[in-house]
Structure 1
């Protein structure tokens, strides 16, 4: 909906088509509502003159029969659908008492609020002193439990349901009743209950409805009409509810006078007022009527238990008082909802944990840690058995911590392990082994190695190593990102300003891709190309994965060479790395000869500075020749790394970053 500044009015001129439609509609309505009295909002044009809904008729039931026979084929006007109007909030004390009668100026929102007032209500409640203190002490951004219910997106909860009216709803002045007749008489009318608590029906008279329950409304109307008419059916509904003025006082976020729907409850009014302020209580909201306290509602009943059975309906001139906040405590650790909670007198630590949703499945069920203000100078903190928590009363300022249990790393000597071994073994599979089981024993359980097993190329992956690699990899990416932000963008050989900006954008996009890469957790085993067995003293861990490949007789040459390819290793000949580079056509003009490196089959890396070009090639080696750049700024190196990743993958990426 479009909003306009307060005190202005939107001006527009309807088009010719709209003016034509409005003229036709006005003419139709004039023919339809012939000489309708002021109290009749809708009435059937063919209503017999003797109908109690017919205006100005003094005929009896018998005189209306002929008129009914002449119109028995006509279609009656349907009963209007129920529409509840939005309720405005009046904090000035001079607003409206009933729905639709506003005395405030300015543009209103869908909630019926003044635009500036709606902005004020949508602002979150500022944290109190205890919230700030708990955040500083615990290092956690703790909120008051229940504050999420008061967010702007949750304010729809303040509007009562509009589809169903409770059977016990008592009618009062300002409610609008819709009455429809079918059968021997047809017609419909909307009538508002006047200040005397009555509605007036022609030929019937006044009908008192004040205090009548909604479930008895139809019988009351039918009984009144039945004193003069027979052979009809009557249906009734409420099309508009009266407004109720209430006062929200005390420690509310926005105290004041509010006009709410007659179906509104105490909770609805509190939420309309923005809920309790930082110094207001969630555990007590008192309702006063005619100077007497009639209800004391605990909002935790609704927030934690979903119970609104004690949430009373409001009446005109009710006063809602929110007292000052009670004792506040913080609950942290392995609980279902870390937050700041308000506790009542006599509630124990166990009661507070229940309000916090209880411990999680990973929590230590045996104990809790209590930090108490009175213990700071002496004890500091104390450990309490969970079974005895109900014997300790909660005090103001307590911090209750539940320690995690299931997420603790256990010693390896007490860990059962599931090890996956596959490849060149006689019985590949998953094996469940006892703690401290050596790798050689797992290989024996798998039936031993096959004759084609290439032990030097074994791929040994471990979850704990992968997690460690992941942390180190992300730290390296963070350093690259910081260096990129601090790198000078002038004199780096990357072209003009537009090109430099494009390079920076590409580098940032590439770093984002790096963050999504996952290391494989591979361990480089201490084996030689001629070894025929895996290390015997290596203890396995849970979720270890071992892949033993067959012996390969190829070596790959990739990167800045004329013809990247894989070549068969010479028959026992000691051929060096540079020989295979020459077999690939040699390096191209743009090659970086000084940074050629070799990735061995066991995962180790040999760089040119360590004699890679003169080293003997081993089966399964991969030789990579990077591209030379004219400058060595950070942006140029990141550009080279992206080319490496495109051809080779994350292993070569790590080596190129080191170089």
Structure 2
């Protein structure tokens, strides 16, 4: 023990030195880089790091830092690429829209509100970008991230319209050329001439605003609409083509658009990504806002201005598009336009029983009625007579209760919180009827139901089992306490008692005669198909109950059918020693036989007992196998049938049978199973003298040691054991070997040699083992019996038996060499684990 303590002290001392001399993280990284350049293996690097005090935890920490820095560089690189892409979009082709989608996806990836763990601790927060709608979370084991939807009541209505990937407002360029489209530098125009003269001119308007036409020179089209350009071209082409102008022109000239130009617009103010954007010349304000990521949390959707040449040409209200589908203000943009998104002026939250509770941006002239319209209106369980408003006055809070008549005139202000309550959980015109009526339930008061009689009529009358002498009304007073009012239903229906007016929340209860007494039943036990409890009926007989129980079983005795009856004397005033009445009858052809059985009827709560016939026995089978003439199962013909009888039924034994080795396996009875469960329960209780569970035989069968040889020699003797159902007898062949097992040097099977002692057979197995209990050896015979062995007993060992030598208790003190060996193994194991740590994942 002292050596063991000294060894552990040495290990902990070395560990302390390693921790004290631990290398900093930077030195570890530099050492790994140098070692890799020198061509050292990972195992060599790990071993040398451990010698320098580097722990597994330090390696994992360095690896995490490396991965974090790598992901941070990738994110910075992505953001830099997005910004350069925004500045460098100058091309005016269809690829612009594809780029805008990529830019849009990248913008969504950056608009992260927060990276959190499941315990709510914030890990990362974006300072410049924010996300509307969802939050990004990480699971508790840091194995993955998932999106968690934000509370809808905390969102601003309409702010997600420009973050929907399926609603891009992208212009459609595969349409006929609009006549009001204004041409500009970069537009490709196609001029078709047909009729008396035919030609096609396809040119792009130059930065100076003109195209070059043969025999005409420069033709200036910039700034003209398509309609104006067509009129202008007819005038110009009349100079080189005859028949272009006149009442019936013979030559037609028409201008259409080819490839459209791109424009640059500036999106400023409260948008997610403000800046300069290159768009299609067909682009509208909504598409530009979509490209900019939509408005941010303080951006306005009610007043989005388009400035052109210093003048405001449009003021858009996105709510008109969301609520009414109006897009008349979604003007087509031109090169150099500026879109301004101001902060909101008034943000109001509505909560409670409305269809869309959330924040809404309101104009200064809008009222509660407008807010309710935006929120989808009241839900079905809303209290619609009034709503509650909490307002921040600048110094303290104020509360307003706005009635229904003032919804259209009460104006909301910034910061207002509007709450719509639910209806009260009570009824203003309810009465209820329960009990012995045909239609129980709730009914309307002050309609066609105002009195008790009217309520009974509405419930389609009383049932035949109604108790008419007394019913009750449970009435709720004004102070919410209750009182009981007695009602004579019989007199009320006959007109001898005045009808009783009902009040709100009255509950009329008309009892049934069956509700006023215990339910009458009958119980049948024993040999019937479905024993149990059945409902009592008047004039019921024992035969009737047997029929309801599915009839008698084959084992039922038709004699001595007993009926037990309760003693019922409700008006008795004296003590009685009689606890019950018993009747006994015989049954023949479905009729009771016996004194007084002709008019015998059952009474409530009688119990009937059908006994099992004492002469009824089911077949009881036993099995015999092995060296008998006819193997198989045999049915017992009498209760005391014995081993010799079974051998006789099987035709006797064969000449090769080894009778002394015959064994019997017996199944446990219910009583034996119960005793086994009791023994197991006592063992689990942990009593001081309890035995080990491992030593208990927990199977449902067991071996019985028999001597078939003596049973056949002396039939009817004690050796000739009485059989019972489920027994299995096996008569083996002669076995000429002996097994030696347990704590011996070499467990073996050897030939039986008559007259040899235990020492001979132990020597055949190499002798006793070091941990053998030599004096505890025992032998197991083929017939299932077990016996202790003595070294000089030469008659105890028989053919087919097995010698078993038990072992000593393996728990013992460890030697110094074993302790040192264990410490060396632990150190080797630690080195192997450290070697498997991966420093860097490529």
TM-score by length of 2: 0.38
Relative to its length, the structure with more strand (as a share) is: 2
Q: Which has the larger radius of gyration?
A: 2
TM-score by length of 1: 0.47
